[in-house]
């Protein structure tokens, strides 16, 4: 078995940190036998890793679901700890007196279906006692939300006070509003749209191809090998990260400067190259390449209108108060996609613009601006 720094996946026996775990779809109270997936696959059971903050009130009316993006996990708030090499990805926004106030709300953040931080994904053990690997089925955002709905039932939550997320988390928040209109009061959707765009699909395909072409990928069944596709995953992350930031920010930070005292003309690196290499190396240590593929595909399959006769018909089901926000410099999920969502929703006449040079990652780093959007949406 290859070691965790190569696979980047959490396994049973690893330090759990704050995580709790629940097994769903195995039968019993409020469960069905297995999970039938939108693309035709089936999972006999699903383990979900999740973290909570605050306390659920007596009427279970103060629960807030926070949903992470592609490379995030359940650790939305808190310090570095076993199993979590980085602080919470939305730490300043979740806590006492924060925009998502844990003295007021019961906050739940699950790791997504197909992920690699405790929830069932390609690196999880299948029924035959071996990792799924290439056998893991295709999952969609709709499937991921179905798992989150089952988790809510397990926690005794019938209706969320709010569901919030950015990027892939924003997709799931919007899917919640469409799939379960009676079970969500508010949705906060940041840096997402109605369906995957051609450019988003193309960029994901390039990243996925880099992983697949790594000689150590072995068709996705590399868990028993000495080496996994770490080089491919690092380059894929670099490609992705480039699309998450803006050209203006990269130019402002790096221009054509060399990295430290290296000499590019003599084989040294430019600062921009070192930056992408750094993010690729970080990804290897905390993420599984197969999960990167599965979640990227789920984002490519995202289409709110599928199965409902189009996006406008799907959005006509929404009963929640929807707050839509986008980042001014986002070139991956540009503001036109948020305006399209608002127009098709037919109940929201404005998009809140987060003014930032950062690009798509503004939903993660512009804490004051994003916090203001969330405070307004939650009525705080």
Active site residues: 167, 330, 360
Within 10 angstroms of residue 156's Cβ, the number of other Cβ atoms is 10
Three-state SS annotation for the chain: CCCHHHHCCCCECECCCCCEEEEECECCCCCCECEECCCCCEECCEEEEEEEECCCCCCCCCEEEEECCCCCCCCCCCCCECCECCCCCCHHHEECCCCEECCCCEEEEECCCCCCCCCCCCCCECCCCCECHHHCCCCCHHHHHHHHHHHHHHCCCCCECEEEEECHHHHHHHHHHHHCHHHECEEEEECCCCECCHHHHHHHHHHHHHHHCCCCCHHHCCCCCCCCCHHHHHHHHHHHHHHHCCHHHHHHHCCCCECCCCCHHHCCCEHHHHHHHHHHHHHHHHCCHHHHHHHHHHHHCCECCCCCCCHHHHHCCCCCEEEEEEECCCCCCCHHHHHHHHHHHCCCCCCEEECCCCCCCHHHHCHHHHHHHHHHHHCC
Buried b (16+ CB within 10 A) or exposed e, 102-131: bebbbbbbbbbbbbbbbbbbbbbeeeeeeb
The alpha carbon of residue 313 and the mean position of all alpha carbons in its chain are separated, in whole angstroms, by 26
For 156, the token pair is 């005794």
């Amino acid at each position: 078995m290859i070691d965790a720094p190569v696979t980047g996946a959490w396994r049973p026996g690893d330090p759990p940190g704050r995580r709790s775990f629940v097994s769903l779809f195995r039968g019993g109270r409020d469960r069905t036998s297995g999970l039938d997936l939108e693309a035709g696959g089936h999972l006999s059971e699903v383990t979900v890793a999740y973290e909570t903050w605050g306390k659920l009130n007596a009427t279970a009316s103060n629960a807030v679901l926070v949903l992470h993006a592609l490379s995030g996990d359940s650790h939305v708030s808190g310090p570095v700890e076993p199993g979590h090499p980085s602080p919470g990805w939305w730490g300043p926004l979740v806590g006492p007196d924060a925009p998502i106030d844990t003295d007021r709300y019961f906050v739940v953040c699950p790791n997504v279906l197909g992920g690699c931080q405790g929830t069932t994904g390609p690196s999880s053990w299948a029924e035959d006692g071996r990792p799924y690997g290439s056998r893991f089925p295709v999952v969609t955002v709709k499937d991921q939300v179905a798992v989150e709905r089952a988790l809510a039932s397990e926690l005794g939550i019938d209706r969320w006070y709010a569901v919030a997320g950015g990027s892939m988390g924003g997709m799931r928040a919007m899917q919640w509003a469409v799939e379960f209109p009676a079970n969500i009061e508010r949705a906060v959707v940041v840096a997402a749209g109605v369906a995957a765009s051609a450019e988003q699909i193309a960029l994901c395909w390039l990243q996925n191809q880099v992983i697949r072409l790594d000689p150590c990928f072995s068709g996705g069944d590399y868990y028993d090998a000495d080496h996994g596709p770490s080089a491919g995953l690092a380059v894929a992350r670099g490609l992705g990260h480039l699309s998450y930031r803006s050209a203006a920010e990269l130019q402002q930070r790096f221009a054509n400067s060399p990295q430290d005292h290296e000499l590019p003309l003599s084989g040294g690196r430019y600062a921009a190259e070192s930056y992408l290499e750094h993010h690729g190396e970080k990804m290897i240590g905390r993420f599984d390449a197969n999960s990167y593929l599965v979640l990227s595909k789920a984002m490519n399959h995202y289409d709110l209108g599928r199965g409902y006769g189009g996006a406008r018909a799907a959005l006509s089901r929404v009963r929640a108060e929807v707050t839509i926000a986008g980042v001014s410099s986002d070139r991956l999920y540009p503001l036109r996609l948020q305006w399209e969502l608002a127009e098709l929703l037919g109940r929201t006449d404005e998009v809140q613009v987060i003014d930032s040079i950062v690009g798509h990652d503004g939903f993660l780093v512009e804490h004051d601006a994003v916090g203001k959007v969330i405070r307004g949406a939650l009525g705080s």
